[in-house]
Amino acid sequence: MASSDVAQQLDNSARPLSLSGHVGFDSLPDQLVNKSTCQGFCFNILCIGETGIGKSTLMDTLFNTNFENCESSHFEPQVKLRAQTYDLQESNVRLRLTVVNTVGFGDQMNKHDSFQPVVDYIDRQYETYLQEELKIKRSLHNYHDSRLHACLYFISPSGHSLKSLDLVTMKKLDSKVNIIPVIAKADTISKSELHKFKIKIMSELVSNGVQIYQFPLDDETVAKVNTTMNGHLPFAVVGSTEEVLVGNKMVKARQYPWGVVQVENESHCDFVKLREMLICVNMEDLREQTHTRHYELYRRCKLEEMGFRDTDPESKPVSLQETYEAKRTEFLQELQRREEEMRQLFVQRVKEKESELKDAERELQGRFEQLKRLHAEERNVLEDKRRVLEEDQSSFNKRRAAAQLLQAQSLNVNGKKDKDRKNSGFM
């Protein structure tokens, strides 16, 4: 019997009982709260927007502190993600906050792949968590979770429509992270234009199939406020750490020649709404959605790519051991197939090399025979020349000997004549 069937039978066989006295398990929520308080929490925010749109200022304003922010230039050759982690504490609750900023986003001439570094970064965090989860010896209780829980997407307050880069990027990210769109520097656009701009943005997101984060309605305690706040998306925000005296009170505001824009005044901007929804009301839901929805989708796709399935082709449950054995067998078969292909390729290469060597040997043998013939011909020519030379030398020697004989005979005759002439003179 399958394990799922057993679990179903156990669920169906459970029957309610009444207690005759206090037991104590009603303190479980308190125990959970105490344990969570001791362990602390982590929350990771991704800020996407063009350089100078106010991402760092808004983060400082949201958490009432000054993060270590480095100014970014508008001349970055490519998009880079910079993560900075901080330990915060409010009352007795500790929060490890990671702010990830997109440096150079939207600054390049060619913005075609500006979203890719962001997608790769999110996937790397999921992959790191998955690898930790798959370890034999896991330490998830003290593991620093770097998965991104919320993405604040900063929209330029143009008042017209979303840029193509915004639509493409949000479409690529909506299945990977909880996207909360915000209109940055909302004090640069009039109230009527801002209202029309919000409607236009939501219409474009719906028509392009972009799924942004919706505040949950399943909890009755926050369902009403979340329903109202869902109608205010995207939030039009203003950030400022500068304090201005308004009346007899110092408030965070931006001061202009024509007046003062108060950051925490809900009639001026939606900053308070964003802070309430992001931090005070729905932070845990954002963390849960990241784990149960986005990470689970990544995990399922990754394991399916590795060949793991919950059921076989006949829709019967398959255990992890069976899947592993099947995958191992498949791997070994694939390994054998590749070994056979490599062996055949090696044999073919050897044959080709032998053929090349034989051709080279035949060519060398032909050249050797040709040189041998040339050598024999040259030797015959030299022998003929030597023979002719010897004949010429012999003929020359004969002529020289004859000439010498004639010369000797001539000398003898002349000597005899001289002697006879002398003898006749004395007589």
Mean pLDDT of 159-170: 88
pLDDT at 74: 63
Mean pLDDT of 56-63: 90
User: pLDDT for 227-237, tens place per residue?
Assistant: 999 888 899 99
At residue 71 the predicted structure's pLDDT band, cuts being 50, 70 and 90, is low
Max mean pLDDT range (1-5, 106-110, 382-386): 382-386
pLDDT at 1: 43
User: pLDDT for 285-320, tens place per residue?
Assistant: 999 999 999 999 999 998 888 777 766 666 677 676
Mean pLDDT of 190-209: 92
pLDDT at 293: 94
Mean pLDDT of 372-383: 92
Checking if the pLDDT of 70 tops 70, the result is no
pLDDT at 119: 93
pLDDT at 78: 82
Q: Which of 24-28, 70-74, 401-405 has the lowest mean pLDDT?
A: 70-74
At residue 208 the predicted structure's pLDDT band, cuts being 50, 70 and 90, is very high
Checking if the pLDDT of 6 tops 50, the result is no
Max mean pLDDT range (49-53, 132-136, 274-278, 405-409): 274-278
- Secondary structure in 3-state letters for the chain: CCHHHHHHHHHHHCCCCCCCCCCCHHHHHHHHHHHHHHHCEEEEEEEECCCCCCHHHHHHHHCCCCCCCCCCCCCCCCCEEEEEEEEEEECCEEEEEEEEEEECCCCCCCCCCCCHHHHHHHHHHHHHHHHHHHCCCCCHHHCCCCCCCEEEEEECCCCCCCCHHHHHHHHHHCCCCCEEEEECCHHHCCHHHHHHHHHHHHHHHHHCCCCCCCCCCCCHHHHHHHHHHHCCCCEECCCCCCEEEECCEEEEEEEECCEEEECCCCCCCCHHHHHHHHHHHCHHHHHHHHHHHHHHHHHHHHHHHCCCCCECCCCCECCHHHHHHHHHHHHHHHHHHHHHHHHHHHHHHHHHHHHHHHHHHHHHHHHHHHHHHHHHHHHHHHHHHHHHHHHHHHHHHHHHHHHHHHHHHHHHHHHHHHHHHHHHHHC
User: pLDDT for 245-256, tens place per residue?
Assistant: 888 888 888 888
Mean pLDDT of 321-329: 76
pLDDT at 120: 94
Mean pLDDT of 6-13: 56
At residue 363 the predicted structure's pLDDT band, cuts being 50, 70 and 90, is very high
At residue 75 the predicted structure's pLDDT band, cuts being 50, 70 and 90, is low
pLDDT at 420: 73
Mean pLDDT of all residues belonging to the chain? 86
